[in-house]
Structure formats: C-alpha cells, structure tokens
Structure 1
Amino acid sequence: MLSGEIPPEICGTDGNFFSVLDLSKNNFTGELPQCLGQWNWNLDVLALHSNNFRGRIPSFCSSGGSYRTPKMIDLSDNQFEGPLPRSLSNCSSITFLNVGNNKINDSFPSWLGSLPNLGVLILRSNYFHGGIEEPESGSVFPQLQIIDISFNYFQGSLPASYFQYWRYMGEYGHENTNYLSAYMYGPWVVANDYPIYDFSMTIINKGVEMEYRNILGYFKMLDLSSNNFTGNIPGSISSLHGLHLLNISNNLLTGSIPPSLGALTRLEALDLSRNDLSGEIPQQLTELKSISLLNVSYNNLSGPIPKGNQFDTFPNNSYWGNPRLCGDPLSRKCGSSMLLSPPSQKDEGPDAQFEVEWKAIAAGYAVTFVMGIVIGHKMITKHASWFAKTFGLRQLMRRR
C-alpha cells in the first residue's frame, strides 16, 4: 500500500549496488524521474507495474558507457502516455518488455526488431494504431516467443512476412523447461550464488484472463485479437510450428480458414471467432491433437463440422453464429431443409426445435379456420332459404 511519488533523489543513489528495483502492485503516482532513463545503474530488472504512474516513459538506455542494460522492464497497468521511447532499441540485453494496459499512442514499434534477445513483447490494451509494415530485413525479432498486441487499433493486413521471420516461434523447443528469468548481479549477490528473478505476465488464455507467475521457456503465443485487421489469414502463419496459443479473433478478416493451420500441431487454443470468415472448416484441423479450445463462432462458415480426434469434444458454442454450419454438436443436421432458413443469431437447441414445431401446428390451425369461414359463408349465402327453414334463422331472411 505504498503511495506518493518517486523522488528525483533516487537517481543520486549509488546504483552499482542495485540489481532489482521492484515497486509493483502499490499506489505510487506521478511521473517517473527522467533520470531513470539514463540508466547509469547496473539494474537487471525494473518492475513498476500495477501502480498509477502517468506521463511519458523515460528514455531508457539512452546513455552510453559500460553499464549493463536491463533484462526486464515491466511498466504495465499504469497510465503512461505518449509514444514508446526509441532509445529502447539500445537495450541490447532486454528479453522481456511489457507496457500493456496503459495509454500509449504509437505505431507498431518495428524498430524493436533489432533487439537480439527480446523474447516477450506485450503491447495489449493501449492506443497503438496503423498498419504493420513489411520488415526491412529477414532478421527481425529473432528470439521472439510471446507477442500480445490485442485490444489496440492496428489495421490493414496481418503481418505475413513477420510470420516467416519469427523463426524461434517456428521451433518446437520443448526441451527448454526452465522459466524465463534474469540472474541478478552485483557485489552482494555474488556471495549469494546469483539469485534468479522470475518474469511474470497476465494474458488471455482460452478465453480467460490468467496471471502467469512463471513463464516456461518453451511457451509460445501470438495474440492479435481485438484490432481492425482486414484481408485473409496468410498461409505463412502455419510456419509458426511451435505456437501453443493463437488468437486472431474480433477483427475484420475475410476469406477461408487456411487448411495449413493443421500443421500447428502444438496448438492448445485456436480462436478465430467474430470475423467474417467463410467457406468450410478444413478437415486438416482435426490433426490438431493437442488443442483443447477451438472457437470459430460468429463468422459466415458453412458446411459440415469435421469429425475426429479433438473435434469430437468441442461444445456447440464453439460454432455459434454460423447459420450454415451443420453436424454435431449442433442440432442442425447436414442435408436438412433448415439449412435454407434465414440466418439466426442464436444456436438451435431443444427449445428452438419445439418452437418451430409449435409454430407449424398453429399455422395449420389458422389456415383451416379461415378456409372454414370462407366456405361456410358461401354455402349460407347460396342456400339461405334452406338454412332459415331448417334452423329458424329469420334474421338472416330479413337481411336478404
């Protein structure tokens, strides 16, 4: 529950004895002292997340000299504004950069692609905007394994060339069972056998916001959801063989689902929901034997739902909002006349089938009733005398 501002005097501290500065999860406010950006300390870890800091992010790694650059910077869950400082491209040792959930207004920081060790880049829930331009060279983000740019304002096509160049995501890498972390250095930690500081993050996994207190070294994720991306899903995305999570939901994507996605055999979650995708669900996706969550709801998909392997376990809400999809687990059977019915925003369940039958019966009764009135009126009009004599309908004779 610490509060207040960080005083500028902190920059007068002998930083040679600082390895970690962790002020996270408090109530600190105000702007960060700009002298922090000069980085004349030997910090390995700067963790300031989950406070109420505001203003611009200091120009980290802007000073020269022989000082080490940090391995981790976490400024997430604050109120930082303005663009990212370009000096971050000088942080050659950084492996973890998280500025998620702020008010940063900038274009995609492609200039971070030159960092040789950057493995985790989280930009989610900011005001990043514009298209993601093609990289100038093939050597960009060589060690990237987790990138989350969700809940921003990116637009244009998905970055097809980047998918080809993110080679580390294309590796399986299950042999790396260590956690992503930083060794702490300094005079006092040498005597304590270089303790480790584990990195952590909060992401959306399988539709649920989850906090990872430790990040396994082999975990690989790509989240481009909740932006304004348009066009097709590029086939080059299938080169990211090591992916565990792929989320490109809630965009404006069109075209069909590439069958080549079936090559992502390490996938545990695939979310393509709330786009404008069309065509059939490729049978090749049944090769995703590690997948436990599939969501293709609210698109324009059609045809039969594939069967086999994990596809036999997905619930019907994985397919909602696709009125021309058919087959299990939906109640809409393939080949049924219901495929010709107008699109509906809700999936057919047991109650929906009862409702259809009830409406058909009611319509039949209504037609029969109207026909009875018409035929009866004609007969009474034609044989009015007989009806009057037989049933004593004198009032009818008077009207005639």
Structure 2
Amino acid sequence: MDVSYNQLEGQVRRSLSNCKMLEILLLGNNRFIDIFPSWLGKLQMLRALSLRSNSFHGAIGKPKSNLEFPKLQIIDVSHNKFTGKLPLKYFQIWNFMKVSNFDNLTYMNAFTWARTPDIRGILFLNYSMEMTNKGIKTVYEKIQDFLIVVDLSNNRFEGEISEGIGNLKGLHLLNLSNNILTGRIPSSLGNLSELESLDLSKNQLSGEIPQQLLQLTFLEFFNVSNNNLTGPIPQGQQFSTFENNSYLGNPRLCGSPLTKKCKISETPTQPPLISKQGEDSKFPSKSDWVVIMMGYGSGLIIGFIIGHDLTIRELDQFAKKFGRRRYE
C-alpha cells in the first residue's frame, strides 16, 4: 500500500491491522501527527515500512512481544520528531535483518487483477519506494528481495549507539545521521559484513573511529562528519576511497585524507584478524609457519633441529596445498 506524497493527516488508522497480508506500507511525505504505530508489528507479513517526512513523535519504546515485525527488512522513520533512546529492543527482535549472504537477485513484487480497454487479466508489478541511499534521496523502481535498511535519521534520538546493532548482519544501509547521539562508535559495526552505506554524521559522537570498520569490504559510502571524533582515521581497504567530506567537522581527527598528520602515538593499529580456521583445519598453524621460515630462510642447523618434526611428506603436502590456495 503506497499512499505517500499526499496530504493525509491525523493518526494512522488502526484498521490497517486487519490487512493481514500487507507486505509494503508506505506512508511517507504526508501530515500524520502520531506516535510510533507499534501495533503494526502484528502484521506478520510486513516487510517494508516507511513513515518518513511526517510529524511522528515521542519515543519508539519497546515491543510488547518478541514476535512483532518478524519479516521486517526495511524501516524508514527519517525526518520526523522521534525522541528518546534508539530502539534497542526492536533491534533485538528484527530477526530477518540478522540474516546475510543471500545469493538470488530477485525483487519484491505482487500480482494484481487489471481490467482496462487494452488489458484484462493479471499484471505482474514490482514494488517501488523512496529512500536515502549513500547520502542521496533515491527512488527505487525495484526493491531487491533482500535489501535490508534501517533509516532513523533526522530525528531527536539521543544516548549511545548500542553494540547490539552489530547483530543485524544483513544490513545494507544504516543511517543514524542528524540526531543527538553521544558516546563512541561501536566496534561491533565491523560485523555488518553486507553494509554498503553508513551515515553517522551530525551527531555528538566521540572517541576514535574503530579499526574494525576496515572489515566492511562492501562499504561504498561513509560519513561521520560533524561529530567530536578524535584520533587516526583507519587506513586501507575501502577507507582509501573516502574523501575529506566524510570527516569534516571533527578537528581532532588526523590521517589521510585529511591534511592533519597523526603523531606517532596516534598511529592506528590493525584490529585482530578473526580466524575462520577450525580446530581440525589442515592448513598450517602459526607455529608451523615459524618452523618452516626458519628452515627455509637460514638453512642453519638450528632451523633444521627446530623443524625436525616436519617430515618430507608433510612439507610436500604443505607445498602442494599452499600452491593450490595461492593460485585459486
């Protein structure tokens, strides 16, 4: 149901809760004055909810049960007057957003019956909606089946960003900009392996930018401008593509692409790599590497003694395995 860009006003009609099969509800750009319609959580099929650009107000609060919004994957409440803390309890129950690595590129769609002078029969329609993606208001003529979005920007949310948001591992777009958020950027955001756009600008965030964000290899848009951030900007990976605009308004940040250089004491350290190697892995362990490099590099007797437990057969298997991994 798309009734956006009208002049609807007042409160959202509770009769919508009777639309049990409703998947998409777009109420944006109207004149609604209401609190967050938490009763919509009873709609078990609801996948996308847009309340953007209205006068919704008050705290979003907590869900009444863990069964609310079971399939929600897109929520846009930007440009309203919401206050209070970020809805952590909702983050915890938005289970669909915790799933990642969908392979099939399909789109949200519906069948409808049409009867016109030229057409009579069933039409296949793609859903569309307007969202802010990578800092730009964008109309999606098609919505990917597994696009996962949280946009809480341009409200009056306050307090810290919980580490729990890092559990929404399927997120593609996260926009918390233009609020009154304080505290540090949670390092758990580095767990959002599918994230393409992260906007935390125009808040009151402090501390350093977590080095764990280097793990976001799909990140294309990053904006933390106009905060109180300090210390070195992460270097390498996707961060080598972000320009000055991503960091403006943080006079205590240093490092490329800014002209302000970091002091030696501020040099960033890489986050610990997360090993995906199981206990039964046959790939050489760290101690094997040390033994092999000592034997290979020096050729000294001590290297041979330390590495005596590596038989010719094991070295041969390792060489074959390493060679195969290297060129795969």
**Matched residue of 2:204: which SS?**
coil
Q: 2:237: which partner in 1? A: 309
Query: Which of residues 56, 59, 78 is equivalent to 1:150?
Result: 78
Deviations 1:46-93 (A, max 9, x none): xxxxxxxxxxxxxxxxxxxxxxxxxxx111001110000011111101
Query: Which of residues 111, 114, 119 is equivalent to 2:42?
Result: 114
Preserved CA contact (<8 Å) 1:245 1:270: yes
Deviation at 1:185, TM superposition (A): 4.6
* Distance in 1 (alpha carbons) for counterparts of 2:104 and 2:45: 16
| 2:51 pairs with 1:123 | yes
| Gap regions ≥5 residues in structure 2 | 265-328
| 2:269 pairs with 1:269 | no
Q: Aligned pair count? A: 262
Preserved CA contact (<8 Å) 1:175 1:218: no
| 2:159 pairs with 1:207 | no
Preserved CA contact (<8 Å) 1:173 1:218: no
* Distance in 2 (alpha carbons) for counterparts of 1:86 and 1:112: 8
* Distance in 1 (alpha carbons) for counterparts of 2:8 and 2:73: 25
Deviation at 1:177, TM superposition (A): 2.1
Query: Which of residues 156, 178, 181 is equivalent to 2:109?
Result: 181
* Distance in 2 (alpha carbons) for counterparts of 1:181 and 1:105: 30
Deviations 1:247-269 (A, max 9, x none): 00000000000000000010100
**Matched residue of 1:175: which SS?**
coil
Q: Which amino acid aligns with 1:317?
A: N
Query: Which of residues 236, 242, 249 is equivalent to 1:321?
Result: 249
Higher relative contact order structure (alpha carbons within 8 Å, sequence separation ≥ 6): 2
Q: Which amino acid aligns with 1:296?
A: V
Q: 1:223: which partner in 2? A: 151
Q: Which amino acid aligns with 1:178?
A: T
Deviations 1:229-282 (A, max 9, x none): 000001111111111100000000000000000000101000000000000000
Query: Which of residues 132, 138, 152 is equivalent to 2:60?
Result: 132
Deviations 1:114-161 (A, max 9, x none): 101000100000000000111111111111111100000000000001
Deviation at 1:198, TM superposition (A): 1.2
TM-score normalised to the size of structure 2? 0.77
Alignment of 1:1-400 (within 5 A): 73-172=1-100, 174-185=102-113, 194-335=122-263
* Distance in 2 (alpha carbons) for counterparts of 1:317 and 1:214: 30
Preserved CA contact (<8 Å) 2:114 2:123: no
Q: Which amino acid aligns with 2:170?
A: G
Q: Which amino acid aligns with 1:292?
A: E
Preserved CA contact (<8 Å) 2:114 2:121: no
**Matched residue of 1:184: which SS?**
strand
Deviation at 1:186, TM superposition (A): 8.0
* Distance in 2 (alpha carbons) for counterparts of 1:173 and 1:213: 23
Give the direction of change, closer, same or farther, for the CA distance of 1:90–1:327 in structure 2 (3 Å limit): same
Deviation at 1:203, TM superposition (A): 1.1
Root-mean-square deviation (CA), in Å?
A: 1.7
* Distance in 2 (alpha carbons) for counterparts of 1:201 and 1:186: 22
Q: 1:64: which partner in 2? A: none
* Distance in 1 (alpha carbons) for counterparts of 2:123 and 2:30: 31
